[in-house]
């Protein structure tokens, strides 16, 4: 039996009558997956001049677009429930900054986010923020943050009463951390060094005395710590952490690292290709751990005896599990979210056998925010619904397990209609190659038409998401573009998550190669099926997507002997890298470069050829570049030198730099100026000579 509140149908009805045919709870570093994910919601703090009629109004052609509903209409974000402590932490955006709030979390019924209490006076638009743990004994919220929006990440403790912030760690970079179950100790991975080779050590801190024990240090060797949340073993004498082998981001294992000596013992087979590997919080039995691994091609759940290393696979969904939590039911069960680009299915699994006990499918991206006892809080969103949280309760009946789902908070219909401006259509389109089964490969995409389309079809524009597309998730910049009458084609080119390890690995070592051919195939589909002219089609993206935008607009047609090209009309690159070799030498994720592009020491010629900076002479279409001056992940010089070379060659390049901002530009005082700069750039393409 399954009971579900009808309010969850909001994710189906959404903003229009046309429904669309790695969200993960596992703690990650801001740099773990790639240079960036969806950058544009954050990259809106500065820009060029504006023609706006008011502080939050921008114009495009004959349209005036009120940004207030997009930026302030739903001011709350990053909800972090702590069910056991009956607290909810979250952020509120206002015209003066972004503030951390706390609210009592009721055991039942909806919550009113307007009732939250502000914690301290820190404006969180001025610094980055990832992950949190509420430390009940000291009434402090431990968070991963920096101090200048530059990704020099450390662990900070925020006094929930006063807002005072105490810096608990002082590292060049903190790979990950976790508090022990008894709340007495903090384990963290402290990385030293601005560039390779890094040295990372396991450090355990006594939270009462402040004394620290520094254990194993990897010295940048063949077996190295990487991004994870180290978990204390039941006897508190060791910590389980993720180890990366031979500098390969996709070759990892789990190891038990002793706290008081230098011993490291692998509890799963080392040197196995896994693009996803992480522990699941909690212990279903003494000495037995649960973890997720993608070694068979999809992210599945395994269990392992920590002492013996005996492990076995519990699930076989042949689809990615993106979010997992262990429930304290009797017997213990696992809540797991299996996700496709279109929908998510929440499964209840037996923690001993992996047997599927109950399931519910939701047409949204779903992650598990928190669990306690037999309850969980789900975070949900889709192309049509940006914001929804629900409580899921698990109950064991006489014959079966039952789910009950109740909405906690969402957005009202009036606001939804103001901020949702797309009509989604799921499509597939052919690319150049065959699958391993010998069939023509077809790629997944969403075509997102603006509800209010231009009256004159000859003036329409469409922008292709260069990377991080194809997901059923709300994006602010897409809907602002749609409000201006600009369509978006959101494809999932090879290398995208959600289609298994084989597809995700298709661009390994081929950065700027066939993934760009897939983008060209999307443009050809737009011409063939939607009637666009090439000059009406643009490309845009952030970070990896920013690189892909520059690459697409300077693409040498002979790459990989594909002999394809497309005359794109324009491009918009945010925080992209233009020179792979210099990016490798100066960024904080060099292992990503090796995985995606190749080893600069061994393949220098290939990396040079795949770098847009060396093909600027091919640039024909106008391009807008934007970048934060304080970006550590993709240093701002990557955009500056592309602009300098393009201008020297007389190419149509436009540039906006955000002083003091990082990879994800924070704050929203100048958001209207930013969006006006983007829309003015696109509108300038209407003028003769552009």
Instruction: Decide the pairing of beta strands 238-245 and 223-225.
Output: antiparallel
Task: With H, G, I as helix, E, B as strand and everything else as coil, classify residue 423.
Answer: strand
Task: With H, G, I as helix, E, B as strand and everything else as coil, classify residue 481.
Answer: helix
Q: Are residues 136 and 151 in the same domain?
A: yes
pLDDT digit string, tens, across residues 611-629: 999 999 999 999 999 998 9
Residue 537 has pLDDT above 50, yes or no: yes
Q: Where does a domain end: 145, 168, 191?
A: 168
Q: Are residues 522 and 594 in the same domain?
A: yes
- Residue 631 counted as domain residue: yes
Asked whether the beta carbons of 256 and 238 are under 8 A apart, the reply is yes
Residue 330 has pLDDT above 50, yes or no: yes
- Residue 323 counted as domain residue: no
Asked whether the beta carbons of 91 and 667 are under 8 A apart, the reply is no
Residue 407 has pLDDT above 70, yes or no: yes
Q: Are residues 479 and 566 in the same domain?
A: yes
pLDDT, position 670: 66
Task: With H, G, I as helix, E, B as strand and everything else as coil, classify residue 508.
Answer: coil
Separation of alpha carbons 257 and 260, rounded Å? 9
Residue 188 has pLDDT above 60, yes or no: yes
Q: How confident is the model at residue 428 (pLDDT cuts 50, 70, 90)?
A: very high
pLDDT, position 74: 84
The number of distinct structural domains making up the chain is: 2
pLDDT, position 667: 61
- Rounded mean pLDDT, 549-577: 96
Q: How confident is the model at residue 39 (pLDDT cuts 50, 70, 90)?
A: very low
pLDDT above 70 covers a percentage of the chain that reads 91
- Residue 584 counted as domain residue: yes
- Rounded mean pLDDT, 256-277: 92
3-class SS letters over 579-646: CHHHHHHHCCCHHHHHHHCCCCCCCHHHHHHCCHHHHHHHCCCCEEEEEECCCCCCCCHHHHHHHHHH
Residue 29 has pLDDT above 50, yes or no: no
Q: How confident is the model at residue 387 (pLDDT cuts 50, 70, 90)?
A: confident
Helix and strand tally (H, E) in the chain? Answer: 12, 41
Which has the higher per-residue pLDDT, 658 or 82?
82
Q: Are residues 519 and 584 in the same domain?
A: yes
- Residue 112 counted as domain residue: yes
Q: Where does a domain end: 140, 168, 196?
A: 168
Instruction: Compute the radius of gyration of the chain from its Cα atoms.
Output: 24
Q: Are residues 523 and 645 in the same domain?
A: yes
pTM passes above 0.85: yes
pLDDT, position 53: 44
As a whole number, the mean pLDDT across the chain is 89
Q: How confident is the model at residue 291 (pLDDT cuts 50, 70, 90)?
A: very high
- Residue 198 counted as domain residue: no
- Residue 420 counted as domain residue: yes
Taking residue 642's Cβ as centre, other Cβ atoms within 10 Å add up to 28
Instruction: Decide the pairing of beta strands 537-542 and 570-574.
Output: parallel
> What is the torsional sign of CA 634, 636, 637, 642?
positive
Angle at 323 between CA 287 and CA 496, to 5 degrees: 125
Q: How confident is the model at residue 634 (pLDDT cuts 50, 70, 90)?
A: very high
pLDDT, position 1: 42
Asked whether the beta carbons of 303 and 289 are under 8 A apart, the reply is yes
Distances (CA, A) of 86 to 103, 115, 181, 218, 325: 9, 15, 18, 39, 18
Q: Are residues 123 and 38 in the same domain?
A: no
pLDDT digit string, tens, across residues 581-606: 999 999 888 889 999 999 999 999 99
pLDDT, position 22: 34
Q: Are residues 56 and 129 in the same domain?
A: no
- Rounded mean pLDDT, 289-294: 96
Which has the higher per-residue pLDDT, 403 or 49?
403
pLDDT, position 663: 84
Which CATH number is 577's domain given? Answer: 3.40.50.1820
Q: Are residues 48 and 134 in the same domain?
A: no
3-class SS letters over 375-414: EEEEEEECCCCCCEEEEEEEEECCCCEEEEEEEEECCCHH
Asked whether the beta carbons of 206 and 185 are under 8 A apart, the reply is yes
Q: How confident is the model at residue 195 (pLDDT cuts 50, 70, 90)?
A: confident
Angle at 573 between CA 249 and CA 23, to 5 degrees: 45
Q: Where does a domain end: 168, 196, 218?
A: 168
Separation of alpha carbons 368 and 336, rounded Å? 8
Asked whether the beta carbons of 447 and 468 are under 8 A apart, the reply is no
- Rounded mean pLDDT, 346-351: 98
Q: Are residues 107 and 163 in the same domain?
A: yes
pLDDT, position 220: 87
Distances (CA, A) of 334 to 278, 326, 346, 376: 15, 5, 10, 11
- Residue 180 counted as domain residue: no
Q: Are residues 562 and 603 in the same domain?
A: yes
pLDDT, position 666: 66
Residues 6+ apart with CB under 8 A from 92: 75, 76, 98, 99, 101, 113, 116, 118
Taking residue 211's Cβ as centre, other Cβ atoms within 10 Å add up to 9
List of long-range contacts for 167-172, beta carbons under 8 Å, 24+ apart: 168/142, 168/205, 169/203, 169/205
What domain range is 503 assigned to?
Answer: 34-68+415-684
Q: Are residues 485 and 605 in the same domain?
A: yes
* Bond prior to 201 in cis (omega within 30° of 0): no
Q: Are residues 80 and 54 in the same domain?
A: no
- Residue 308 counted as domain residue: no
- Rounded mean pLDDT, 201-225: 94
């Amino acid at each position: 039996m399954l009971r579900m509140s009808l309010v969850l149908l909001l994710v189906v009805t959404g903003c229009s009558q046309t429904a669309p045919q790695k969200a993960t709870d596992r703690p990650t570093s801001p740099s773990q997956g790639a240079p960036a994910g969806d950058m544009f919601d954050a990259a809106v703090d500065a820009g060029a001049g504006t023609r706006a009629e008011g502080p939050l109004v921008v114009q495009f052609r004959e349209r005036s677009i009120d940004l207030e509903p997009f930026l302030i209409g739903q001011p709350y974000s990053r909800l972090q429930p702590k069910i056991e402590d009956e607290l909810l932490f979250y952020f509120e955006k206002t015209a003066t900054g972004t503030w951390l709030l706390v609210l009592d979390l009721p055991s039942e019924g909806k919550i009113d986010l307007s009732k939250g209490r502000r914690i301290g006076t820190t404006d969180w638009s001025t610094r980055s923020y990832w992950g949190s743990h509420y430390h009940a004994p000291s009434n402090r919220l431990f968070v991963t943050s920096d101090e200048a929006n530059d990704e020099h990440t450390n662990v900070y403790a925020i006094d929930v009463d006063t807002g005072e912030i105490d810096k608990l760690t002082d590292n060049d970079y903190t790979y990950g951390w976790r508090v022990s179950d008894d709340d007495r100790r903090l384990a963290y991975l402290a990385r030293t060094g601005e560039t390779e080779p890094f040295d990372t050590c396991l450090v355990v801190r006594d939270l009462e005395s402040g004394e620290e024990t520094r254990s194993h240090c990897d010295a940048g060797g063949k077996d190295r710590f990487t991004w994870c949340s180290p978990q204390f073993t039941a006897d508190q004498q060791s910590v389980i952490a993720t180890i990366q082998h031979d500098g390969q981001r996709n070759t990892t294992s789990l190891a038990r690292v002793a706290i008081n000596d230098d011993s490291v013992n692998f509890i799963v087979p080392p040197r196995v290709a896994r693009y996803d590997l992480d522990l699941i919080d909690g212990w279903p039995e003494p000495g037995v751990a649960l973890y997720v691994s993608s070694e068979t091609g999809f992210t599945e759940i395994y269990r392992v005896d920590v002492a013996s290393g005996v492990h076995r696979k519990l699930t076989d969904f042949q689809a990615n599990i993106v979010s997992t939590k262990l429930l304290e039911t009797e017997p213990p069960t696992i809540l797991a979210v299996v996700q496709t680009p279109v929908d998510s299915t929440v499964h209840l699994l037996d923690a001993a056998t992996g047997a599927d006990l109950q399931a519910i499918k939701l047409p949204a991206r779903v992650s598990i925010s928190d669990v306690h006892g037999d309850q969980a809080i789900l975070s949900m969103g889709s192309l049509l619904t940006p914001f929804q949280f629900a409580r899921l309760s698990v109950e064991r009946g006489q014959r079966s397990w039952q789910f009950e789902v109740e909405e906690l908070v969402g957005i009202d219909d009036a606001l939804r209609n103001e901020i949702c401006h797309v009509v989604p259509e799921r499509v597939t389109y052919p690319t150049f190659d065959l699958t391993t089964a010998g069939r023509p490969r077809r790629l997944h995409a969403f075509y997102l038409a603006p509800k209010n389309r231009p009256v004159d079809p000859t003036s329409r524009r469409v922008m292709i998401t260069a990377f991080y597309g194809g997901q059923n998730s709300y994006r602010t910049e897409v809907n602002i573009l749609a409000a201006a009458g600009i369509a978006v084609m959101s494809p999932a080119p090879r290398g995208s998550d959600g289609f298994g390890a084989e597809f995700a690995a298709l661009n390994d070592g081929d950065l700027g190669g066939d993934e760009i051919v897939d983008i060209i195939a999307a443009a050809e589909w737009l011409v063939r099926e939607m009637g666009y002219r090439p000059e009406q089609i643009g490309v845009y993206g952030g970070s990896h997507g920013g690189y892909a935008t520059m690459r697409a607009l300077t693409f040498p047609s002979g790459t990989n002997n594909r002999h394809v090209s497309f005359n794109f009309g324009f491009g918009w690159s945010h925080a992209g890298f233009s020179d792979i070799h210099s990016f490798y030498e100066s960024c904080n994720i060099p292992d990503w470069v090796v995985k995606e592009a190749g080893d600069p020491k061994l393949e220098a010629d290939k990396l040079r050829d795949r770098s847009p900076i060396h093909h600027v002479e091919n640039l024909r279409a106008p391009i807008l570049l934007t970048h934060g001056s304080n970006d550590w992940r993709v240093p701002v010089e990557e955009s500056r030198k592309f602009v300098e070379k393009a201008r020297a060659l007389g190419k149509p390049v436009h540039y906006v730099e955000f002083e003091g901002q990082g990879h994800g530009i924070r704050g929203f005082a100048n958001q209207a100026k930013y969006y006006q700069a983007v829309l003015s750039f696109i509108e300038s393409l209407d003028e003769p000579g552009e």
